A and B are shown apart, each in its own frame.
Chain A
């Protein structure tokens, strides 16, 4: 089984905050990391390979430094790494991104199973996985929390819904996006780290993957950002002070007037 896992290098937004003085994002010390959901997708790909046999290729679209994330993926069990990188890809929205990634998957000979994280923590769109599947003309399932079986050319899995979950089955080739409940990602092994150091990352540009110039980067995007701004905060903020009993008495009073 040929497994392709799509990963994205993202800024670690966890501790990013607004700087109250400049009203800009304080990004000091913010590192680039592998998108956390993609880590779970990778782990699931490696587990499926271990159980059913096959290879795991990690694929990323991004600047050259995204190669670090691919090496990290190799350290965690991926066999091969492919970076699609070209200045022409900059400014891509999800429509342009799915064109690039689906072209890259075709270029490397397709896949039986494609895994993605449910969304990236910088954009939070959750659109790239389904978009790749649609462009490749294969079925997909989103928000997968468990793979039940992957046998006889079909995969059976559980996908989260707002009110519970559905168990579904689809024939391969197929794509799935995973939630973090699906597994606990492993830490890199020593052997994996050695391999990560020495592996040659296949790098492909727009021409290599036969990208349609009208469907990549900013120009190929269907959406356009017209304004970026910082969210408004509410400014009511009445602080209640005093001893614990005094504070509790004030809270009781507020609650009584509200409820």
Chain B
């Protein structure tokens, strides 16, 4: 629980301002904690006189943590394609494995996987555990969860990484729960703590308003899902050597209580938002769906993809697949043009790794300008059509 040293507390109120939950208040000259304290520790860090502390009753460590070794990446494969995030995870996984002086392995589950494991080795894996079985043709939380859980139990990796995709965020919680170990969702940074080799997992919380670094101190493996488009893949090296191990799980473990009736791939945009070099995004400032036509036109002229803030999606001006931000996609294009987007932190977390950001907004105080490479204060309805026209003229030349 949160301990308040009343003698040390000077009643300055910094903790009250810091608490995201409104759980701590200054009353009668010192801080008082309420029932809704979540023990996040924000106030402890903020307190300038050291009056606050969290009393931890340490949990017992299960087994010997040193028995667990190696870094694993779940290489998501669906509809004939290994997800790009698998290669990104191998990039960061290689770094972590080298720092820990352990092997990097990939787990590849699916059906008709010819040629895929070799690509994972070229992308950095030392070992690929491959389960190529018709009963894994469709993703199910049960079958994929059972197979991965069994492999982890057998080989005891210290770290397991998966993409924070619809699939990863669905079945990895089941794996972590059945292994009775910790899971950190949606990480944007991973590092090894020098003193004890623990995995430092950093993720946005509160819609990106705060970042939290999390460890899994008493259990193994340390499991994290990682946001796509955040980590960098290694350059493909076909000369890399690695072992491919075919695994044949018992049929019962690949049976699912969830029956897949059909798997529908929906029409994607001409340009895949997450992989586009240029993204033109619109927000509340567009006023209506018609305003969005201007965004599309500029995107077309620049050969880019169209994105939107949550405000625009919630208003029904454009579909959810276009949403960028904490509850949407993360993008990191060469160029991101934000039009009429104020820049709520939830949006910023989804696009601030873009190489160049151009922001057009009528409000000079809009937070989008804090992340912009170039900012323009003005009326997008004047600027965007003119810009489109000029760029179209340039294309024609």
Contacts and interface: CB of A to CB of B under 8 A. Distances in A.
B302 A163 contact: no
B79 A163 contact: yes
A255 B264 CA distance: 38
Interface stretch (A38-46, A106-114, A200-208, A242-250): A242-250
Given A18-B345, A227-B213, A27 B22 contact: yes
A239 B258 contact: no
Contacts of B265: 163-164
Contact of A248 (B173, B215, B256, B386): B386
B138 interface: yes
Nearest to B264: A164
Contacts of A251: 358, 374, 376, 383, 387
Contacts of A121: 206-207, 327
A74 B275 CA distance: 44
Contact of B173 (A13, A126, A162, A237): A126
Interface string B164-186: 01110111011011101111111
A247 B42 contact: no
Given A130-B173, A231-B208, A252 B391 contact: yes
B173 A11 contact: no
A134 B378 CA distance: 53
Contact of B166 (A124, A143, A219, A247): A143
A167 B210 contact: no
A189 interface: no
A247 B375 CA distance: 10
Given A11-B21, A163-B79, A228 B186 contact: no
A80 interface: no
B205 A223 contact: no
A18 to B, nearest CB: 7
A140 B35 contact: no
Contacts of A18: 209, 345
Contacts of A235: 370
Contact of B259 (A63, A169, A241, A254): A169
Contact of B213 (A63, A64, A123, A226): A226
B273 to A, nearest CB: 11
B218 A168 contact: no
Given A222-B180, A223-B184, A237 B370 contact: yes
B166 A125 contact: no
Interface in B210-249: 210-219
Given A65-B36, A220-B59, A225-B40, A25 B78 contact: no
A124 B186 contact: yes
Interface string A114-155: 000000011111110111011100011111000000000000
B39 to A, nearest CB: 3
B177 A134 contact: yes
B294 interface: no
Nearest to A132: B177
Contacts of A141: 141, 258
B29 interface: no
Given A214-B59, A219-B57, A254-B358, A233 B383 contact: no
Interface stretch (A50-58, A87-95, A191-199): A87-95
A125 B209 contact: no
Interface string B242-269: 0000000000000011111111111010
B167 A63 contact: no
A252 to B, nearest CB: 5
A165 B22 CA distance: 39
B206 A13 contact: yes
B318 interface: no
Contact of B264 (A142, A167, A241, A248): A167
Nearest to A141: B258
Interface stretch (B12-20, B102-110, B127-135): B12-20
A253 B21 CA distance: 47
A124 B54 CA distance: 24
B334 interface: yes
Contacts of B39: 90-91, 218
Contact of A134 (B17, B174, B216, B372): B174
Contacts of A143: 166, 170
A134 B178 CA distance: 7
9 tightest Cβ-Cβ pairs between the two chains A and B: A222-B182, A91-B39, A130-B173, A139-B257, A223-B182, A63-B35, A164-B266, A127-B173, A134-B177
17 contacts: A25-B206, A27-B17, A90-B37, A90-B38, A91-B54, A95-B176, A133-B174, A141-B141, A163-B268, A165-B266, A168-B259, A218-B54, A231-B345, A240-B376, A241-B377, A252-B390, A258-B334
Interface of A: 11, 13-14, 16-19, 22, 24-25, 27, 30, 62-65, 87, 90-91, 93-95, 98, 121-127, 129-131, 133-135, 139-143, 156, 160-171, 181, 214, 218-231, 233-241, 244-245, 247-249, 251-252, 254-256, 258-259
